Chain A
Amino acid sequence: MKRTLAALGLLLLLLGTCTRHTPKIEPIEDVLKLAYMDLPQSGIIHIALEKGFFTAEGLTVKALPFAFGKLALASVSRGEADLSISPETPIVFSILAGENLGIAAVIGTWDKNTVIIANKASGVQKPSDLVGKTIGVTRGTTGEYFLETFLLVRGIKLDSVKIVDMQPAMMLEALLSDQIAAAATWTPIHFDISERLAEQALIFFGDDFYTEHLVISGTLTYMKKNPGAMKAFIRAIIRAEDFMKEYPDEAVVIIAEHSNLSRSSVRATLELLRGRVSLDQSLLLQLEDETRWALRLPIYAGQSMPNWLNYLHMDALDSVAPDRVRVIR
């Protein structure tokens, strides 16, 4: 009997040795200040906050919500936040402005996030009707890039339209008051505008010429100095991504509560999004496309195309999930 027990003990010991060892999570002392756009596109952040994935990774995150990405990135530029969640366009402008920013990962891409929404009452029935019209856009955002690319693809000269800078929140009123005939903006803002304009609303999508990337960016200094926090952050949002795939309905509820939007609006936004934490070659092309576009602006006159490879901080994602890094190196 004793020999039998010894044999069983040996078996259990072997099985115990075979079981996977879970590494101990070391708490990170510094609080990570995260500026993010308080929109369903940042749903992955909502989930990570709500489900405690940051805390589970030993990370204390101070979440700083902003109306859109450009504002979130601006808080990083001001040193108020360590990381931000924003589309790539504001980053292009920041880099061209000489800021020491880096991109740690893309959290999602989509083709139909940014649109041009027109008021039929202003005489816009088709893209070419935009000629001679006033179009509202928030400068330095994806809206601006999208609008100008849209006009280019449609063969509409940039100087044949009047472009005015305005905050997204102002666009509905401007359309209703006929100050502008159309606005370049993103989801879910155009959902609200479309709802208000009702049958007068006309939406122009990008016809695949613009692939928008939602990225995690921050100062390269911060990212290099805080590899632990960066890895913990990446791990947490990958967990959030998995959660969203596994529990999509619960994810919609959480995001709707956090962004103070209806569940249907959140669901419609998420359906457009290809949420995947990654870092691949397509981002470089998009950044270069947008840089090429931005370099035509007078303020950047004389500047050359930066090597965007230098602005990619791949260490964290490469360390946590190397298969998600597909940048040619």
Chain B
Amino acid sequence: MRIKSALTLSTFLSIIIVLTLGITTSAFNLQIRKVTAHLAMTRNMKATIAQRSILGVEFYIRGENRPLEQANLETERLESLFEQMRESFEEAEHASILLEMVSTNDSYVKLFDQFKSSIHAGIDKESGGRPHSDYEKTLYSQIQLKSYMLQALAESLETWHLRRIDSLNTWTTMIFSISLFILIIFVLVNSIWISNKLSTGVERLRQGATLLGGGDLTHRLSIFPEDEIADVAREINMMAESLAISFTSIRNLEHEVAQREQAEGEIRSINAGLEERIAARTAQLESVNKELEAFAYSVAHDLRAPLRSIDGFTRILQEEYEPVFDDEARRLLGIIRASSVKMDSMIHSLLELTRTGKSEFSPTDLDMRSLAIQVFAECSDPELVASFEFDAGALPDAFGDRLMMERVWLNLLSNAVKYSAHSPVRRIEVRGNVDDGMNVYSVRDHGAGFDQRYVGKLFGTFHRLHCESEFAGSGIGLSIVKKIIERHGGAVWAEGRVNDGATFSFSLPRRS
């Protein structure tokens, strides 16, 4: 049974006991009052009978009317009492006694009337000459006898009522005592029971909590008997279960953290190794690159001397031995000289490219618009340049090497002029803006353009997207631009369409 239910039941039963006690006591009190009222009536009746008897004696002795009248009044009172008692007395035994009393009283009255008549008539006085005749004595004896009988009956009623009151009082006391005793026992037993239940339950909780608190999260508290303690035990069990799950998660997390820390350590270790390797490789690459540049420079430089010899001697042959040679020989000599010139040009460009990587880098603040305008004026044949509309917008200032930047502008603007020379629209637009922390510059023309699919080859060394006979060039200018811009930490890109012009753009980091 649940403790709350037990307490409710206990309270309810206590109230019932107290109510029963109250109702029973009240009922007994009412009964006692009623019986006491009946007793009072009975005593009144008894007194009336006794007084009438005394008045009868007075009349017997004196023969006066006064005691007779008083006795008659007492008889009337007695008959009235009989009537009242017959209405209010409920016991069958009392009804029988009252009936007997009424009958006896009737006999009394009848005998007394005869006695009175005899006295008044003086029948026997005259005949017998005695104060009372045997007849009167016999009558009076029976009158007295009836009076005693009435007295005895009244006393029996009185005794009954006295006993009844005594019995009711005894019962009231007994019921009150027993009820009180039961109530006390009930409260005691109930208190002990609930106290035991609570202390046992709390002890069970304490032991369980101690075990759980000690770390034994697998321990479960008993949930029997089913009561509030069991509810608490159930909650504690659930809490222990949650705690166990949380502990497991924490342990897993700790394990995971440890693993991660280990992995991070390993990664850091690997990174450190990688950086070292990258630095080593970079150093190696730089060394190789330097060696390659040195080699290229050396080759280019060294190749120029024999090339000049070939060109010189071929020129001598052409000039000195022209008549000797036939046309085919002259044509071939012409090819040799043209190839030598071209090769010299290529070597020159290659040397220039190599120098770009090797030259000293001295950055300074640059007015890019002025620089572009200045370079454009000198980038090609003045007549040709003059035939172009040059539109230079506002360009952000740059921070870079002046010579290198002049070379960038020169290559891009000269290319724009060159590839727009055959175009009906001779217009070149230079624009600049700041985007995402970088200065972005562009050169747009409306010339031959190029196929966007091959844009990747545009900045390669000696790569060309147009025939040399159509547009002369070494094929190394954009490579130099790319190299300079990258050396500044920027980037270069191009967009174009065949016969619809091209836009070459580059970005430079803003000065921090």
Contacts and interface: CB of A to CB of B under 8 A. Distances in A.
The answer to whether A and B come from one shared complex is yes
Interface of A: 3-4, 7-8, 10-11, 14-15, 18, 109, 111, 149, 152-153, 155, 207-211, 245, 274, 278, 280-282, 285-286, 288-289, 292, 323-324, 326
A8 B146 contact: no
A281 B189 contact: no
Nearest to B190: A4
B193 A109 contact: no
Contact of B135 (A4, A8, A153): A153
Contacts of A292: 137
A280 B174 contact: no
Contacts, number: 81
- Interface-centre pick from A8, A280, A282 (highest chain B CB count, 10 A): A282
A4 B192 contact: yes
B185 A208 contact: no
Interface string B155-167: 1100100010000
Contacts of A153: 135, 138-139
Contacts of B181: 11, 14
A286 B159 contact: no
B11 interface: no
Interface of B: 93, 96, 100, 107, 110-111, 134-135, 137-139, 141-142, 144-146, 148-149, 151-152, 155-156, 159, 163, 174, 178, 181-182, 185, 188-189, 192-193
A210 B100 CA distance: 16
Taking chain B's interface residues, is the majority helix, strand, or loop, or is none over half, making it mixed? helix
A14 B145 CA distance: 50
Nearest to B154: A326
B152 A326 contact: yes
A208 B107 contact: yes
B141 A18 contact: no
B189 A282 contact: no
B142 A211 contact: yes
B142 A208 contact: yes
B141 A288 contact: yes
Nearest to A284: B148
Contact of B149 (A7, A149, A207, A282): A282
A291 to B, nearest CB: 11
Given A4-B189, A18-B178, A211 B135 contact: no
Given A4-B193, A208-B110, A211-B146, A289 B138 contact: yes
A285 B145 contact: yes
B139 A209 contact: yes
A287 to B, nearest CB: 10
B142 A3 contact: no
Contacts of B142: 208-211, 285, 289
B148 A274 contact: no
A149 B185 contact: no
Given A3-B192, A211-B149, A281-B148, A11 B185 contact: yes
Given A7-B189, A211-B145, 17 more contacts: A4-B192, A4-B193, A7-B188, A8-B185, A8-B189, A14-B178, A14-B181, A109-B149, A149-B138, A209-B111, A209-B138, A211-B142, A245-B93, A282-B148, A288-B141, A292-B137, A324-B156
